[in-house]
Amino acid sequence: MSTSGTSGEEKLVEASIHALISYIKSLKQRLVINSSDIYLHVAPFTFSSANRQLLLPLYCGATVVLASDSQRENSDFLVDLIISYAVSVIDLVPSQLRSLVYSMEQKIFKMSPKVSIPLRRIFTTSDIPDNNVLDRVLMLLPQVKDIVCMYGLTEACGIVSTQSYKLNSKITPLGKALGDVALYVLNQKGESVKNGEKGCLYIGGERIEKNNIKVLNNEDNSALNDANNRQSRLLCTYDVCQINQNNDIEFIGRSSIHFNINGLLVNPIPIEKVLCNFFSVQEAVVVKQKVLDRDVIVAYLVKEKNAVLDLESLREYLLRDPKIIAIPNFYMLMDSIPINKHGKYCRKSLPVCDTDLVLRPTLSTAPINKLQSDLLIIWSHYLGNGIGIHDNFFILGGDSLLAQEILSVINNAMKTSIRMADLFEFPTISLLAKQVIIKNYDEKISIDEERKFIGGRI
């Protein structure tokens, strides 16, 4: 089977027939599929998802509708397929589900007479889905009582846990493990973490692909002793999790996409989720890039159709969320986010951030004097072109580290003494220019007074 792997790299995984049979039986016990159901198959046949989408409905006596490559890649075609064949069950990754709900909204609200979407069960897997998208689906399709969010890895033959999502609920926990696997959160020593502590998620069970087993040796560890009873097969997922107060395993983030910015370890997933909850943003991917010779956080956004995206409002929305520990420096608008053949966001295929194309405040006012022009030249060197004298330094992509560098250049070039606190209080070129004048005037008065005092003493 083909997979993008826990590291994001393409690879092949071998699974035994025994493991596959155990997997499908466990799914049947958990997921309610009836013989009257019509199940839409959208996964390429080389992927582990294809096993679930084909074998599970057939094992339950249901009918399978196979989507072609062109239908799979176009959400409008998928909606037509669902309506034409009265599909009752779909199984999609979150990026596909996001596109599908938009196409369904167009069909339901714009078609005359209004069409009916026959879906009764929706499964989503791979990445942790966005609550906002799930709520949109449930409000659009009232006959769908919940959405089953599934977590799994190809190295584990597929899904290992499921959780039922209902309207306006939470989706952070990974849910309940299937009957033929067990989930553990272990620290670097291979010890089970305590409630509230973060660790790496491991999957135990006989259907774990042997070449991906992570060997841990700790005789006193109950998780490992239990794993020994399951033929000592522990798969390291490289996903960061923790045990909450209800003893549920909460997904924190995928370590393979974490990045370090100025000593701060950033998980992009919470940032992306909050961005997608902003009313005019449809999709968002956050990555680290080197722009103008410095490491920055770049958010690639797809906005809702005909929506106006206000940069300042978006940044304020992020700042209000306590879970966000880092704010993107730059925002790039995209027609669509590149997706790999597994249906996941392909972060490596994102274009290099171009400061000439990043989202800027709507109105940019030109400088009206030489001091403002000189400041604009310095700011543009670090923040790119398209800056106006009333644009906020921090909204333009500046941060405290860059502020120190820029202030050093400004103070040396203009023989002044602007402090960090001044930039926070006067974050635009227009305001900062006035502060430079005031500073220089105050310092000139101070020097003149000192000269007079010294002269009087002499």
Chain segment 406-441, per-residue pLDDT in tens: 898 898 888 888 988 889 899 899 999 998 888 775
37 to 32, 40, 58, 64, 159: CA distances (angstroms): 10, 10, 10, 9, 21
288 to 164, 265, 281, 350: CA distances (angstroms): 33, 11, 20, 11
Read off the pTM: 0.64
| Mean pLDDT, residues 105-122 | 82
| Whole-angstrom distance, CA of residue 176 vs CA of residue 151 | 10
In a domain, 311, yes or no: yes
In the predicted structure, residue 231 carries a pLDDT above the cut 50: no
- Pair (96, 228) in one structural domain: yes
- Pair (240, 122) in one structural domain: yes
- Pair (267, 314) in one structural domain: yes
In the predicted structure, residue 209 carries a pLDDT above the cut 70: no
Chain segment 350-394, per-residue pLDDT in tens: 999 988 888 876 666 888 999 999 999 999 888 888 888 888 888
Q: Which amino acid is at 235?
A: L
User: Which of 234, 255, 276 is at the close of a domain?
Assistant: 255
Six token digits for residue 210: 């042997």
Q: Cα-Cα-Cα-Cα dihedral of 100, 105, 106, 111, to 10°? A: 130
Handedness of CA 385, 388, 394, 395 (dihedral sign): negative
- Pair (337, 446) in one structural domain: no
Q: Which amino acid is at 19?
A: A
**pLDDT of the residue at 84:** 93
In a domain, 359, yes or no: no
Six token digits for residue 32: 């309610």
138: part of which helix (H) or strand (E)? Answer: helix 131-140
**pLDDT of the residue at 185:** 92
Domain that holds residue 282: 258-349
Six token digits for residue 283: 């999709």
Listed as own residue / partner, the contacts of 276-279 with beta carbons closer than 8 Å and 24 or more positions apart are: 276/130, 276/132, 276/133, 277/130, 277/131, 277/132, 278/314, 278/317, 279/304, 279/307
Residue 202 near residue 230, CB atoms below 8 Å: no
Q: Which of 48-57, 92-101, 238-247, 253-262: highest mean pLDDT? A: 48-57
| Whole-angstrom distance, CA of residue 159 vs CA of residue 28 | 12
In a domain, 50, yes or no: yes
CB atoms within 10 A of CB 196: 10
φ, ψ of residue 377 in degrees (nearest 5): -60, -45
Six token digits for residue 310: 């206000």
In a domain, 360, yes or no: no
User: Which of 217, 237, 255 is at the close of a domain?
Assistant: 255
At residue 36, the 3 state secondary structure works out as coil
DSSP line for 337-394: --B-TTSSB-GGGSPPP-TTTS---S--PPP-SHHHHHHHHHHHHHH-S---TTS-TT
Number of domains observed in the structure of the chain: 3
**pLDDT of the residue at 315:** 85
- Pair (200, 304) in one structural domain: no
User: Which of 193, 220, 255 is at the close of a domain?
Assistant: 255
Q: Give 92's strand partners.
A: 124
In a domain, 226, yes or no: yes
Residue 29 near residue 56, CB atoms below 8 Å: no
- Pair (208, 289) in one structural domain: no
In the predicted structure, residue 152 carries a pLDDT above the cut 90: no
| Whole-angstrom distance, CA of residue 327 vs CA of residue 351 | 20
φ, ψ of residue 91 in degrees (nearest 5): -140, 105
- Pair (23, 94) in one structural domain: yes
- Pair (191, 93) in one structural domain: yes
In the predicted structure, residue 11 carries a pLDDT above the cut 70: no
Taking each helix axis from N to C terminus, what angle separates 94-110 and 75-84, rounded to the nearest 10 degrees?
Answer: 70
- Pair (341, 385) in one structural domain: no
84 to 66, 80, 120: CA distances (angstroms): 13, 6, 15
At residue 90, the 3 state secondary structure works out as strand
At residue 209, the 3 state secondary structure works out as coil
In the predicted structure, residue 46 carries a pLDDT above the cut 50: yes
Length of the chain: 458
Residue 367's closest CA among 382, 386, 393, 388?
388
In the predicted structure, residue 2 carries a pLDDT above the cut 80: no
| Mean pLDDT, residues 180-201 | 87
Residue 332's closest CA among 354, 303, 295, 358?
358
Please give the residue that has the higher pLDDT: either 109 or 5. 109
Please identify which residue in the block is written with the tokens 């060197």. Answer: 381
| Whole-angstrom distance, CA of residue 141 vs CA of residue 118 | 9
Q: Which of 61-75, 101-115, 395-409: highest mean pLDDT? A: 61-75
pLDDT band at 445 (very low <50, low <70, confident <90, very high): very low
Q: What is the CATH number of the domain that holds 431?
A: 1.10.1200.10
pLDDT band at 160 (very low <50, low <70, confident <90, very high): very high
In a domain, 356, yes or no: no
| Whole-angstrom distance, CA of residue 51 vs CA of residue 343 | 16
In the predicted structure, residue 156 carries a pLDDT above the cut 70: yes
Which residues have C-beta within 8 Å of that of residue 80, sequence separation ≥ 6? none
**pLDDT of the residue at 133:** 85
In a domain, 365, yes or no: no
**DSSP single-letter state for residue 211:** G
Chain segment 280-320, per-residue pLDDT in tens: 998 999 999 988 878 889 999 999 888 888 888 898 899 88
| Whole-angstrom distance, CA of residue 87 vs CA of residue 90 | 7
| Mean pLDDT, residues 184-198 | 86
In a domain, 354, yes or no: no
**pLDDT of the residue at 285:** 93
- Pair (246, 263) in one structural domain: no
- Pair (73, 202) in one structural domain: yes
- Pair (426, 411) in one structural domain: yes
At residue 446, the 3 state secondary structure works out as helix
